[in-house]
């Protein structure tokens, strides 16, 4: 007996009443693996493009705010696109059940997309931890040296301490005393702790501020009036840096949460579409793939 055109390529149907499990984990895992792999590839590609758009030379490369905006957009786009693909694969590969209403079928297809999202998040976290551990083991020396170098030049707290201890004649009245010996690591650590306490617990106490003024005056040879001005500027600089870091962390948290929620919705929707294509036996073709022309009989 000839098979109808709509049955060609359609997955085998199963009776819902005889089902032992409503979740097809093979389809879920397949979609999650595809989503994780695609996300990794797109993230690597975006990182390479972003690095190519930056430059340490003045006037070269894109401005930092443009690079940051593009990075946020790409992080969201690649994650959403990856879970779209993974959700579609899970919905398309899930067996077709008979005896269910259309809305129930769509819900169960979408639920498989949600499971792809959840499993994909677990796989992504595991891959990130594994990659981070491997990089830490293979490049421990290089990372340590680079991190120490960057920390010494880019840490706002260290920059504030450098500004306080920079030698030079003060602009205030009074006689400048010759500076004492250069501040050692223990002295710099003490000054850093005092600055950090002003951010964590509020303004410095009168005793701590007086001690800080005396130490800066002794180490730089500046009058106490100029030392007081330097300390005030250093405190303001550290507060500005802390506020900037706080706002950046808040923005990153909101962007990450929004991206995850949109990715969940995308995986759910894609799984429903995959289920519709499965039930209607829609041919699975890439948009730019080569298609065979039908053979015309003579």
Q: What is the pLDDT of residues 25-70, one digit of tens each?
A: 999 999 999 999 999 899 899 888 888 888 777 777 788 888 888 8
With tokens 């501020």, the residue in question is: 209
Residue 80 burial (CB count, 10 A): 19
Does 5 map to a domain? no
Q: Are residues 46 and 138 in the same domain?
A: yes
Domain encompassing residue 44: 23-149+255-279
Does 289 map to a domain? no
pLDDT at 131 over 70: no
pLDDT at res. 213: 86
Nearest-Å Rg of the Cα atoms of the chain is: 31
Question: Please, what sign has the CA dihedral across residues 99, 105, 107, 108?
Answer: positive
Residue 7 pLDDT level (bands cut at 50, 70, 90): very low
Q: Are residues 39 and 83 in the same domain?
A: yes
Q: Are residues 63 and 131 in the same domain?
A: yes
Q: Are residues 79 and 206 in the same domain?
A: no
List, for residues 133-160, the tens digit of each pLDDT value: 554 454 444 444 444 444 444 577 788 8
Token pair for 200: 């964590």
Length of the chain equals 298
Give the whole-angstrom CA distance, residue 85 versus residue 15: 27
**φ/ψ (deg, to 5) at 189:** -65, -40
Does 293 map to a domain? no
Q: Is the pTM of this model over 0.75?
A: no
Helix (H) / strand (E) containing 91: helix 64-93
Does 290 map to a domain? no
pLDDT at res. 290: 53
Does 226 map to a domain? yes
pLDDT at res. 272: 93
List, for residues 243-297, the tens digit of each pLDDT value: 888 998 998 889 889 999 999 999 999 999 998 888 887 887 765 555 555 555 5
Q: Are residues 145 and 157 in the same domain?
A: no
Q: Are residues 98 and 159 in the same domain?
A: no
Does 11 map to a domain? no
Residue 9 pLDDT level (bands cut at 50, 70, 90): very low
List, for residues 170-186, the tens digit of each pLDDT value: 444 544 555 556 667 78
Q: Are residues 259 and 141 in the same domain?
A: yes
Q: Are residues 167 and 122 in the same domain?
A: no
List, for residues 91-106, the tens digit of each pLDDT value: 998 887 776 788 788 8
Q: Are residues 119 and 232 in the same domain?
A: no
Q: Are residues 145 and 263 in the same domain?
A: yes
Domains: count for the chain: 2
Does 195 map to a domain? yes
Q: Are residues 77 and 125 in the same domain?
A: yes
Does 71 map to a domain? yes
Strand 96-98 and strand 13-15: the pairing is parallel
Q: Are residues 207 and 177 in the same domain?
A: yes
């Amino acid at each position: 007996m000839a098979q109808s055109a709509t049955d060609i390529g359609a997955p085998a149907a199963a009776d819902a009443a005889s089902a032992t499990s409503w979740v097809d984990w093979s389809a879920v895992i397949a979609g999650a693996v595809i989503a994780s792999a695609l996300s990794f590839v797109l993230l690597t590609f975006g990182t390479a493009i972003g690095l190519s758009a930056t430059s340490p030379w003045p006037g070269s490369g894109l401005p930092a705010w443009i690079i940051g905006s593009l990075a946020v957009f790409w992080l969201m786009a690649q994650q959403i696109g990856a879970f779209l693909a993974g959700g579609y694969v899970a919905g398309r590969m899930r067996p077709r059940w008979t005896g269910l209403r259309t809305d129930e079928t769509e819900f169960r297809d979408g639920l498989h997309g949600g499971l792809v999202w959840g499993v994909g998040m677990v796989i992504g976290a595991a891959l990130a931890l594994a990659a981070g551990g491997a990089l830490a083991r293979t490049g421990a020396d290089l990372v340590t040296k680079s991190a120490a170098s960057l920390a010494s030049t880019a840490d706002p707290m260290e920059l504030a301490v450098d500004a306080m201890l920079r030698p030079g004649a003060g602009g205030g009245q009074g006689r400048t005393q010759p500076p004492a010996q250069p501040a050692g690591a223990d002295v710099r650590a003490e000054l850093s702790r005092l600055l950090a306490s002003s951010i964590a617990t509020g303004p410095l106490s009168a005793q701590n501020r007086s001690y800080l003024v005396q130490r800066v005056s002794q180490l730089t040879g500046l009058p106490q009036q100029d030392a007081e001005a330097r300390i005030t500027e250093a405190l303001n600089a550290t507060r500005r840096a802390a506020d900037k870091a706080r706002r950046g962390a808040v923005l990153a948290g909101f962007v990450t949460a929004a991206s995850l929620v949109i990715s969940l919705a995308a995986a759910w929707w894609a799984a429903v579409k995959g289920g519709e294509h499965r039930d209607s036996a829609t041919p699975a073709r890439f948009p730019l793939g080569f298609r065979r022309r039908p053979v015309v009989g003579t």
